[in-house]
Amino acid sequence: MSQPTASRAKRIGALLFCPACGTLLDLPRDDQDEIECSQCGRKEPAASYENLPTKTYSSANAFPSALKAKRALVQNTVEEGEAAKDRDPIANERCDNCGHIGMSYKEMQLRSADEGSTIFYKCLNCGHQTSTNN
């Protein structure tokens, strides 16, 4: 009992709805020429599903994974380490350039392990830099 198909199925995105009753129509199988509405029995040509544009949207957090969680942990640790670099300790040393007392410093081992480290100072007032071997 096929009914005439005077009006086409209503499309919202990639979904097709029965024009008679508004029920969501099933996807056609490869061997089907028509899709029958499960509610009212109206038949819609399977060709209605051809060439439908489809847009999908997602976000970076839409698909959680253990690997992404580990990567985020490492990135956060590095970012926190980078932030700590901006907060170097301060020594009560006098700047040779402007005389200001208070210089940030970093200690690095540049020479062999049995020798002392090198301390790099930076003036908090003028930005002058100097180094001292320990």
Specify binding-site residues for Zn(2+): 18, 21, 37, 40, 95, 98, 123, 126
Residue 26's alpha-carbon distances to 33, 43, 67, 99, in angstroms, are 13, 11, 37, 81
Which segments are annotated as binding site? 18, 21, 37, 40, 95, 98, 123, 126
d(CA 127, CA 131) in angstroms, rounded, equals 13
Can you tell me which residue has the tokens 């970012």? 79
Pairing of strands 43-45, 90-94: unpaired
